[in-house]
Structure formats: structure tokens, C-alpha cells
Structure 1
Amino acid sequence: MKLNRFLIRYYPPGIILEYETRGQQRIKSIDLLHLTPETNPDELLEEIRQSERLITESRAEQVKQLILRLQQKLGQQDHHRFCFCKELKAHILPLTNVAFDKSGSRFITGSYDRTCRVWDTASGTELHKLEGHKNVVYAVSFNNPYGDKIATGSFDKTCKLWCAETGKCFHTFRGHMAEIVCLAFNPHSTLVATGSMDATAKLWDVESGKEVATLTGHTAEILSVYFNTVGNQLVTGSFDHTVAIWDVATGRRIHTLIGHIKEISNVQFNWDCSLIVTGSMDKTCKLWETVSGKCVATLGGHKEEVLDVCFDLSGQHVATASADGTARVFSATTHECLVTLEGHDGEVSKVCFSPQGGRVLTASSDKTARLWDVQTGVCLHVLEGHTDEIFSCIFNYEGNTIITGSKDNTCRIWY
């Protein structure tokens, strides 16, 4: 094996190795999920060298410099003060979803007006209008980290694959018998997964546009699909109260996660693929062990349905959003509730962590989004100005831009 070069990954912290073996180019990552500004870089370097033989003595100083750069980035985290930048009257009917590309230079919006639009973040200029769906465009995604393709899922039962640069439609994926409500690219951008009201998920080949597999077994609509970071497993959450883990290569169901007593609202793997988090209308969130499929914790406390749930990028924290008007942050290891985020006057439908992990962003039916400090639970900023409920909020990769999407047909950019 021959090491060609290193790449640095800021969120979550890690070092990517590009190497050659038997004439084939490969990559592997060294995840540094527990790195802090206080970590001793020499001790960490030694630990890495003991477990990774590609890092020889001649490369040691280079790796140490990468560790120091990561620590410096961590030390800068989350002091950004967001200000309203611009409002885009994006669509003639309400928005359904928004998504950034990896660089944050572009974002996309889906809408009830049957279109998806591509925007330049800095100028607010519309770059492309993706037309062709015959019903609501409900789910949208870039194929990050590449950002050269866009997938759109529609109530017209199809998913379309588009060129992000030109707006040309590459493929229309047909086969679902009901509305498509969620989708995801795998990490290598070779597959798209779609989840439908027809109780199935499907895997589609990006290159050929052909269906690869139909994942059957759920008995009600699938509301959430999520690939793990390796790309070999997919998790689906359904209105049948269950969650399924699937082997992507074979389409075989590995585990069914049974324990919730009402509909699933969202599902997600943590970064190292060891845990799955699920949110449910039964007012709880659960953590599951991926390998065994066993429930390792039930995170309670909400008085109404849990509408959204997510891990931070390091996998150390879980955030929940609820119809009770609050959000909560839990420890993924001790399972205790660390802070309750109180202040919204309506249900909280979306929650996400900043890439650095020190902030939480929430979206609410009270027409505001809020930015919170993870450690203290203090509300740092109220993002006001929308005239109807906000049901989408996202950070860019650097964590210094926020987009909020609203039922008022607009999205707002915050720097």
C-alpha cells in the first residue's frame, strides 16, 4: 500500500487518507470524534500511528499539523452572530423543503407549486427552475459532498434526478404506487433511496436510472430514509410504528426495531454507524444498537409528539423537537436530558445541530426559528420575519449561514 495524500475533514473532525493498493485508488478515514482543543496532539498522534500503518515516521509531523489545524478550527466554533440577509419569494405556493450543497454556495427549494428551484446563496439569484413533476415536490437533496446532482421526490409518485449545473433532467424514477415523501443519496452518490406512502422504499442506480431493489415489509407509509456513512446500510422509519435496517447490497432486512407505540417521525444513524436514533408520535425518542437491533435507551420528557430528532456530527448528543413547543438535548452516552429549550409559542417541527455541535437550531409554527446554546440551553437569537409557520431550517457546512423555509412561500437567508 502506498499513501498518496491526506485530506482534512472539519465536521466531524477527521483525517482522510488517499492511498493506492494493487493499482486501485482507495480512501479511508480516521475519525477523531472526541477531539477537543485540549487534546494532547503528541499522544493522539502516537495513538493514530499504532493503529494505522500507512502513517510512517516520515509522515508523522504532517499528521500532527493536521491535528493542530483541526483543534484550531474547534477552538473557533459557534461564536457567529446571525443577521438577516435577504428574503426570497421563492415560489407561488408554500415551500416543502430546503437543502444546501456541501460548499453552501447553492441551495434548493421544493414546493407545492410542483417545481424545485436552485439558488445562489450569496446573491439570492435563481440559477435553475427544475420543472416536470406533475404534483407537489416534497423531498429534495443534493448528492453531497459532490454537489453535481439533485434528486426530487414528488406526490406524482416519481423521483427525478437532475444535473445541478445545467438543470437538465437525467432520469425519472418510476415504480412507486403512491406519493414519494422522503429520499436520500448514498455517500458515494451511486444510489438514491426513496420512501413512499405505498409502504415501500426503493433503491435506484444513479448512472443507469434503473431500479436496483424494492424494500418491502413495512405495512404503512415510510416517512424517513437514511444511509449510514459507510453506505452499506439504510434505515427506514414508518407509520407502522417500526423501523427497519436494510443491507443495501442485497436489499435484505437485517433488523426490525420494535418498541414505539405510534408513528415514527424521523430516523438517523450516528456518524460511526453504531447507533440509530428514532423519534415518534408516542412522545419518546429511542436509541438502538445497530449491530444487534436492541433498544439501548428511551429518551422521554416531552408532553406531546416528537416531530424531529437528530444526532450532532460527533454522535455525542441527540436533539429532539416536539409538538409541546420545546426541544431537548440529550447525551447519547449517559442518555440524560442535558437541557430543555423553552421559548417557542407553537409546536417545534424541525431541529438540527450546527456542524461544530455547540448550537441547536429549531423551527416552529410560531413563525420563528431560534438558535440555542447546547451547554446552557439559552436562546441566543430569535430569527423573525416570516409571516407563517417555519417548517425547514438548515445550516451550511461551515455553520455560518442559515436558511429558513416557510409556509409563507418564502425562504430567508441569515449570515
Structure 2
Amino acid sequence: MLQKHSKEDMLENTPPHRPDIDGEDEMFEEIEVDGNEPPQDDDELEMEEITLAELEARLGMQDDDDDENDAEEEAKDRERISQIKDEAVVTFKKHTAPVFACGLHPQNSWAVTGSEDDKAYVWDVATGEVLFEIVEHKDTVTEAHFSHDGLYLATGDLSGEIFVFKLNEQKEENPIFHKVWEYSMSDMTWMFWHRGAHVLLAGSDSGEIYVWRIPSGDCKILPGESSRCEAGELSGDGKKLLTAYINGTVRLWDLKSCQVLMEVNEQHPMGFQEITHAVVACEKDSPFYICGEANGKLLFCTNNGPVSTAQADHGIECIAFAPSSAQFKLFAIGSLDGQISIWDYSKYSLRTICESPVPNDGVLGIKWLNDFTVLAATTQGNLNVFDARTGTLKFKLTGHYYHIYEFVYNPTESILLSVSEDNTAKIFRIPPLGE
């Protein structure tokens, strides 16, 4: 997932889709003058005289060059977009700004999406019809999730305002949800439901982690160290929480006692120094954990602490374990330079590189669709599906044309929900995956 903090820096870990204009710092050159130098002759002080009109013309010429460059970039964008085939079966266009959050209801054919327009919608995945609208947020909605049983819906925004809604007993009731709880915390970096209980967890920019029981609102706070909690994930047994912080600390918490079971800080020989971006992953069937950071370092841990490290040849934006560890112990990592690699964590070694169909198409998210099929969402709006054993592309889904920020897969219905900077959410049908 992407962690964001304010509307100005929410994309700090994501490349812009338009090039930045460099050279601003070069517009002014610092010149040192020695006050003891003798005065110069008037001839040496001669300066070119120009009129205001001439100066405006010169500046106008520079502006014209910039305008031409912008026009060229926009033309290239239009050309690229016009060639994209939209393979989505449904496109939801109600949002008026980039869409960052999404979820699928576990029983009903409903999707939820949250956007920079400060709104969240629940809508029908077959028709795109809006079923429920959330307008109380005053900042970008970056989290929107149904609980494991679909009874509750939680939405959260960058400022830390969180709302929880409960599904009405009668589906015919309108609205279909009603608010049962809300909370204002400090700036939020991530939020998700527990996999098996009505427990909501959230990390903060100040480092504290909140654990609420819903709907009572009973709260436990896991203390921080004034360092942003960048990432968090539940252990396979659902009893522990793995977290990573910007100061480089990695912790494993016991959720019942709120005690730290394992910690790796910058003092540890295997630890991280201060980092700009971190991701964590927990193996489903055993107490095994991975933390990766933007410079490519991987840290492998058990309940007792670090066991090994490795260095990827590329930065790490996202990471995910394969769903089964019975035959192969695999995980995948993706980077903003477009690299996708499959690793064997039993050997702490690289297994294969996936062959991306578009060079330098940055990877923003990775999920496994089955034991040997991995899907990568990219900065150019592609959903690329690879065979993890060979690294070859199985197929790709197109329709978005800018960054895909989040996506959710329902294997029972073989549908995929994705949301993008292009202001849309899309439903795709996933073809048969084989073994």
C-alpha cells in the first residue's frame, strides 16, 4: 500500500506522470565580491542596455519554449491514452479526483472506493450504481475496507478521521449502512481490519498504533518513538503485528499484551538505518517475516529476531508472500524502476526476474492470484500477470492510463477491482489461471 501524509506529499514515493521542470536552482548564480579590490573602470562596468519590451520579449521566448515542451508532453500523453484498449467490464466514474482506496464486500456484489475528492462510495460491481455515499471526510480518503464478514465498513482519511458504518439487517433499507463509530487520531499512514475479528488497526505519522474493538471503541495504543509508522501487517496466526518505522526500527507486537516480542533497530548489525520507505510481509503458515526498504535491503526475521539479510538489485516499493509454502517458499518484490523479482526465502536468494512488457513501468503494488501467479500494478496503468516459476508474462489487463494505487482480487468470482490516479475505479474479469 502507499502511505501518505498530506495532499502535498502523498505521492513522495511515487514517480510523477509528467516530468518535473529542472533547473530552478540554476536560475541564480551566487557571485562572491572582494570588497578590497580596486574600483574598475567605467568601461569594465558597461552592461547591455535593453528596454522593458525587449526584456519581456526574451522572457516570453522562454515561456514559449516551456509551453511548447508542455504541449509536446500532453500530445504524447493523449497519443498513449488513445491507444489503450479498455478491457474493464465496468468503469466507475463518480469520483472527481485520484482514487486511492478500494475494497470488495465478501458476500455481496459491492465495491467501496475512496478518493482525493474527500468522498467514499459503495457501488454495485455489475452496474456501477451508487448504493451509499460517505461525504463526512474533510481530507483525502486513503483507506476503505469491509470487515472480514462484511458487517462493517471503515473509511479513513489522511488527517486521521475514521468512520465505521454497520450494514443494516434488511438489505432493502436505504441507506444500506448507518454510522456506529468515529474517531479522530493524528495523521494516518495505514489502516486495516483484523482478518477474523471486528478489530480495526491503524498506524500514525507520530508512530503510535491504534487497535480498536468495534463497535464499542475500546482502544489499545501501541507506543511509538516520534517516528512515522510506515507499514504494518498481521502475522499468519492473527495474534501479532509486524511494523516498520522511518527511523529504521522493525517491531513484532503481541496484540493481546501490547508487548514487543522482537525488535530490530539501527544498533543491530542486521538493522536498517533511517529509511524513506518500508514494506513488510508475514508468511501465512509460519512465524516468518520480511521487511524491505527503498534502497533494496531485505531483512528476514522470526519471532526470535533477525536471521538473515539480502540485497536486491533494485529498490523495493512493494512485497508479498506467495499464498502457499508447501512446495516453493516464494515471495515477490516490485520497484519503481519497473523491476519485478521472485525470491526463494528458504535460501534467501533470487529465483527469477519477471519480464515486464513495458520498460521502466514502475510497480506500485503486487499480489498473488494463486500459488504461482503474481499480478503487478504499474505507474502507467497496467495490470501485468506473470508466471512466477518462469518470469514470463501470462497476460495483462489494460484500461487505466495513470498510476494504479490499489487493487483487490476476489478469486471466487474471478474479478479484480482497481483504482487509479485517472479518477476511475474499474472491474476486470480474470481469465482462468491454471495451476
Task: State the TM-score, normalizing by the size of structure 1.
Answer: 0.74
1:187-226 matched pairs, under 5 angstroms: 187-210=195-218, 212-226=219-233
SS in 1 for 2:117: coil
1:83 to partner: Cα distance: 5.0
Asked if 1 retains the 8 angstrom alpha-carbon contact of 2:188 and 2:203, the reply is yes
RMSD: 2.1
The amino acid across from 1:268 in the alignment is A
Structure with bigger strand share is 1
Would the alpha carbon gap of residues 96 and 228 (structure 1) be closer, same or farther in structure 2, given more than 3 Å must change? same
Match runs of 1:100-115 below 5 Å: 100-103=104-107, 105-115=109-119
Residue 312, structure 1, aligned to residue 319, structure 2: no
Among candidates 390, 400, 409, match of residue 414 of structure 2 = 400
Which of 368, 375, 378 in structure 1 is aligned with 2:382?
368
Whole-Å Cα distance in 2 between the matches of residues 250 and 190 of structure 1?
Answer: 18
Is contact 2:365-2:377 (8 Å) kept? Answer: yes
- One-letter amino acid of the counterpart of residue 328, structure 1: S
1:147 and 2:150 equivalent? yes
Aligned residue runs from structure 1 range 55-66, under 5 A: none
Residue of structure 2 in register with 1:238 after alignment: 245
**Corresponding position: 1:341 with 2:354:** yes
Aligned residues: 326
- Greater shift, 89-98 or 277-286, is seen at 277-286
Equivalent residue for 1:131, pick from 128, 135, 146: 135
Q: Give distance in 1, aligned partners of 2:204 and 2:108.
A: 28
C-alpha separation between the residues in 2 aligned to 1:104 and 1:278? 34
1:255 has 2:262 as partner:
yes
Q: CA deviation at 1:242?
A: 1.9
Q: Where does residue 382 of structure 1 map in the other structure?
A: 396
Q: Distance in 2 between matches of 1:150 and 1:203?
A: 16
Contact kept, 8 Å, 2:206 with 2:224, in 1: the verdict is: no
Percent identity of equivalent pairs: 20
Give the C-alpha shift of residue 168 in structure 1: 1.5
CA distance in 1, matches of 2:217, 2:235: 22
Query: Which residue of 2 is the match for residue 274 of structure 1?
Result: 287
Counterpart CA distance in 1 for 2:400 and 2:167 is: 28
Q: CA shift at 1:84, angstroms?
A: 2.8
Q: Give yes or no for contact 2:341–2:354 (8 Å, CA) kept in 1.
A: yes
- Contact kept, 8 Å, 1:96 with 1:139, in 2: the verdict is yes
Give 1:181's match in structure 2, choosing from 182, 185, 189.
189
Larger Rg: 2
Match of 1:353 among 343, 368, 372: 368
User: Is 1:301 the equivalent of 2:312?
Assistant: yes
1:132 shift after superposition: 1.3
Q: 2:125 maps to which residue?
A: 121
The answer on whether the counterparts of 1:268 and 1:277 sit within 8 Å (CA) in structure 2 is: yes
Tell me, what secondary structure is at the counterpart of 2:381? coil
Compared with structure 1, are the counterparts of its residues 214 and 410 closer, same or farther at alpha carbon in structure 2 (3 Å cutoff)? same
Q: TM-score, normalised by structure 2?
A: 0.70
Which amino acid letter does the alignment assign opposite residue 133 of structure 2? K
After the TM superposition, which residues 91-102 of structure 1 pair with which residues of structure 2 at under 5 Å, given as runs?
91-102=95-106
Q: Which amino acid aligns with 1:248?
A: L
Higher RCO (CA < 8 A, seq sep 6+): 2
CA contact (8 A) 2:235 2:287 kept: no
Residues 218 and 102 (structure 1 numbering): CA distance in 2 closer, same or farther, change over 3 Å? farther
C-alpha distance in 2 between matches for 1:402 and 1:249: 34
2:295·2:316 contact (CA, 8 Å) conserved in 1? yes
Q: Identify unmatched segments of 5+ residues in structure 1.
A: 1-81
Q: Which residue of 2 aligns with 1:158?
A: 161
CA distance change for structure 1 residues 90 and 287 in 2, over 3 Å: closer, same or farther? farther
CA distance in 2, matches of 1:159, 1:342: 40
